[in-house]
Structure 1
Amino acid sequence: MPVLELNVNRVRLVLASTLAIATVFGGAVVANADPDAVAQARKDLDRIHQESSAIDQDIIEAHDRAAQNEAKLKNLTSDVTSQVAKVEKLSSQLGHVGAVQMRGDSISLTAQLLTSTDADNFLSGLGAMQVEADRSTAGIQQLQVDQAKLTTLREDVDATQKQLDKDAAAKVELGKQYDAKEAEAQAVYDRLSEEERQRLAAIEAERVRREAAAQAEAEARAAQERASRDTATSPRVEAPASTSPSAPASSKAPKPETQEEPPAASGGSGRAQDVVDAALSKVGSRYVWGTSGPSTFDCSGLTSWAYRQVGINLTRSSRGQFSSAGYKVSKSDLRPGDLVFYYSPVSHVGLYIGNGKIVDAANPRSGVRVTSLNSMPFSGARRVIG
């Protein structure tokens, strides 16, 4: 498989590694870097990264369709073989019935009946003739049904093979598009001077720092609000009745407010942490398109594998997970185990692990890694457990 991952990821690693230099020579960097060139490079790299991510998802889905159709084709081929044997056997049986009917020293059963002078023999022979005729008719009808089924199976085989060929061609074409995006990203990077690359690294690092701080603040605020709601809605413990005449005989705790949040799944946060631990155990594993463990993964392959470890099956693609897995949660309310999605339309998924970090299967160069929640344009999150 050719290395098709967008070079933006490598660019970002290089930029991050030069951040210290940018800090030391900050004044010179600002003085010598062209702000317009840096701004345009950021814009171009973000666009290319989003476009390549969408191509990546198309490759994953084409690969997944191909895998499903390969399994389907295998089953269909087996069914065709069985059906051919069934049709041949029935054809042979019907031919044997015809041969039996034709036996009788060149005198047909009909002729024998017409020349019979014994009424009992005539009726008995007539009954046997009717049985054979009925059997032959039923056999012919069954043969027609079986032949029609065989024709349908063969048509399904042809259609499935055509889809397989189409997906194979699509993967090749998408691979070329991915290569083109990598070259485009490298060209953008090559146009920058060393000072501009350092400036770009500094801007990117500052953006991640600010967004991480904002995320931590939002999560802390959301946690505080949940704690306040839990306190407010907890049943009050009634004090013993007072002997004072002014004391009420009893008091009622306020009714809990209705929460518009789906019920927690069995196992709660413990199972969610198990999902996180499973994904983290694969950090350093290789990224390979169309794989979902146990040793190689693509982005949605990692999330689906991690959830399988606690008995939950997710749909295979990041787009499918975004539309059907669990229920939507806000960025400020993220908890470990939540699925986090990137780009619009969605084309990448990771797993939130807490403290503003995610684990994801990034690309062939980075593999399974831990990175910032805000390392890519965030588009939404869904909670499967809890």
Structure 2
Amino acid sequence: MASHRRPKQPNSAYATVLSATAVAAVAMSSQTASADPLPDPNKKGAQAQVDRLYEEATQATEKYNGAKERADTLQKEVADLQDTAARKQAGLNDLRAQLGSVATAQYRSGGIDPSVQLLLSSDPDAFLTSAAGMERLTARQSQTLQQFLSQQQVLQQQRTLASTKLKELQENRTELSDKKRLIQGKLAKAQRLLNTMTAEERASRAAEEERANRSSDRADLGNQASASQRASAAFAAAQSRVGMPYVWGATGPSSFDCSGLTSWAFRQAGISIPRTSQAQAGAGTRINSMSDMRPGDLIIMRTDLSHVGFYAGNGQILHAPKPGAQVRYESIARSGMPFMWGVRF
């Protein structure tokens, strides 16, 4: 089987720096070790716990991404509602001015019609209870009045809906803050565990990451074609990001989390897909068998659907795996994450 030639990676100096600092690449490395007690930091236990904390952080990241996507959607809906309400208020002001002109004319001709008085009072809706007064308005004035009352009702509905959305947005932002603290707490705890390791143990861990990166450099992807031109274009975009660091919540172009990489890559191909791995798992066409996967298909991992990458061919996945790692190719069989299904666009 032919050996796959990958696009040129970032310069060697950049890659060397990333490799040398891989064990320290967490967001909260400056926090102290006083937050909670540490488990027994023997080599095997500490290594296993760091990996578990990184896995938990990546799972929590997808939940954070979902909450953020909802917050962004709510923010746009609120802005649209407020903009619509402002335009309707301007229209109501125009109608009120027209009706004010009616009142002025009636005053000059011998007094203001009681119906118009009611309309221009602090409670214009009370006019509806005095239908007899409508007979004293011209057909044109009556139409303007009905239009005013109708638009006033719609405006109130818009404002009520905007208020409800604002409350939901505030609750969502609280959820975002909680999830952010959870992720940062796990990363900080992992960093404290790393800090308990000896220099030799940290060097061993860094060497393990370097081996994974070298293995990515030599990945044999075969020569299978993608199922569609758009999948091929998205996959090519993701390939151009090999060597970029994993950063939770990041969507590129120079750092990514797992679903940030896949959604960014498809955007480069002119296709909008959902932001989170769970939402991406429900989009497109499901591919249930690994044998039916083609390069550029999304591959959904873990039983909670919290990881996603690109199927790269020949049993390989291209993904942003975890904190402290780079975007790279890895064997699916050795990833330690169960394959759930594929998604084709």
TM-score of the pair, normalised by structure 1:
0.59
Check if 1:48 corresponds to 2:7: no
Q: Does the C-alpha gap of structure 1 residues 356 and 86 become closer, same or farther in structure 2, counting only changes over 3 Å?
A: same
- Partner of 1:138: helix, strand, or coil? helix
Equivalent-residue separation in structure 2 for 1:274 and 1:79 (angstroms): 39
Contact preservation (8 Å) 1:63, 1:289: no
Task: Tell whether the 8 Å contact from 1:314 to 1:321 is kept in structure 2 after alignment.
Answer: yes
Q: Separation in 2 of the partners of 1:173 and 1:135?
A: 57
For 2:50 and 2:247, how far apart are their aligned partners in 1? Answer: 23
How much does 1:172 deviate?
2.4
SS at match of 1:101: helix
Matched residue, 1:78: 83
Identity %: 33
Q: Which of 155, 159, 166 is equivalent to 1:154?
A: 159
2:190 to 185, 201, 223: 185
Q: Within the alignment, does 1:383 sit opposite 2:343 as a pair?
A: yes
Corresponding residue for residue 25 of structure 1: none
Q: Which of the residues 304, 322, 337 maps onto 2:296?
A: 337
Moved more, 64-73 or 45-54: 45-54
1:350 aligned onto 2:309: yes
2:29 matched residue in structure 1: none
Instruction: Give the root-mean-square deviation of aligned CA atoms.
Output: 4.3
> How far off is 1:270 after superposition?
4.8
One of 303, 322, 328 as aligned partner of 2:287? 328
Where do 1:48-197 residues align within 5 Å?
Answer: 48-104=53-109, 132-186=137-191
- 1:275 matched to 2:234? The reply is yes
The answer for the alignment partner of 2:278 in structure 1 is: 319
Change (3 A) 1:155 1:294: farther
- Greater C-alpha radius of gyration: 1
Q: Which runs of 5+ in 1 are unaligned?
A: 1-9, 15-36, 109-128, 207-215, 224-266
Deviation at 1:384, TM superposition (A): 0.8
Q: 1:292 to 1:150 in 2, by over 3 A?
A: same
Q: Which runs of 5+ in 2 are unaligned?
A: 1-18, 24-41, 114-133, 212-219
CA distance in 1 between partners of 2:192 and 2:342 (Å): 36
Aligned partner of 1:210 in structure 2 is none
Q: Aligned partners of 2:206, 2:248: CA distance in 1, in Å?
A: 29
Cα deviation, residue 60, structure 1 = 1.0
CA deviation vs aligned residue, 1:24-44 (integer Å, no higher than 9, x gap): xxxxxxxxxxxxx77755664
Q: CA deviation at 1:345?
A: 0.9
Q: How far 1:358 moved relative to its partner?
A: 2.3
* Higher relative contact order, structure no. (Cα contacts within 8 Å, ≥ 6 residues apart): 2
CA contact (8 A) 1:349 1:360 kept: yes
Q: Which has the higher helix share?
A: 1
Conservation of the 8 A alpha-carbon contact between 1:73 and 1:160: yes
Which amino acid is the alignment partner of residue 139 of structure 1? T
Q: Deviation at 1:105? A: 5.7
Aligned-pair distance for 1:320? 0.6
Cα deviation for residue 189 of structure 1 reads 5.2
The aligned amino acid for 2:70 is: R
Aligned length: 286
Q: Decide whether the 8 Å contact of 1:359 with 1:369 is kept in 2.
A: yes
CA distance in structure 2 between the partners assigned to 1:60 and 1:288 by the alignment: 12
Q: Look up the SS of the partner of 2:303 in the other structure.
A: coil
State the 1:357 CA deviation: 2.8
Once the two structures are superposed, residues 356-375 of structure 1 have per-residue CA deviations (whole angstroms, 9 ceiling, x without a partner) of 33222345644533334333
Partners of 1:105 and 1:314 in 2: how far apart?
67
